[in-house]
Amino acid sequence: CSLCVLPNGTLLTGSADGLKSWNPNTGQLIANLNQVTGAIIYRIKYLYDGLVATGFTTYIRIYNLNNNSLSSTWVAGGTHWG
């Protein structure tokens, strides 16, 4: 499981059940950011208004935190899908 705390205090968790954002004051789920079935999130890193997530596959996914969406996917070796 991975944990990341955003500057606004929001908690992000990554695990076998995906990538999720949480309200630290209420414990309520804000959003399920993982839009890829079966993706196991191993590491997450906050970058400005985005998030980089990697798992046990060769994929690197970049999420836009302004609208809680997957913005791009990269595969090790340089292949890019918008």
Which residues, including other chains, have CB under 8 Å from residue 74's CB and lie 6 or more apart?
A: 59, 60, 61, 62, 80, 81
Residue 82 has pLDDT above 60, yes or no: no
Digit-coded pLDDT (tens) for 13-59: 888 777 888 999 999 998 887 666 666 777 777 777 777 777 766 77
Which pLDDT score, from 0 to 100, does residue 31 have?
86
Name the DSSP letter for residue 40: P
Q: How far apart are CA 34 and CA 21, in angstroms?
A: 10
pTM: 0.70
* Maximum distance among all Cα pairs of the chain, rounded to whole angstroms: 41
Place of tokens 């079966």: 38
Give the pLDDT of residue 56: 67
pLDDT computed for residue 25 by the predictor: 94
User: What is the model's pLDDT at position 13?
Assistant: 86
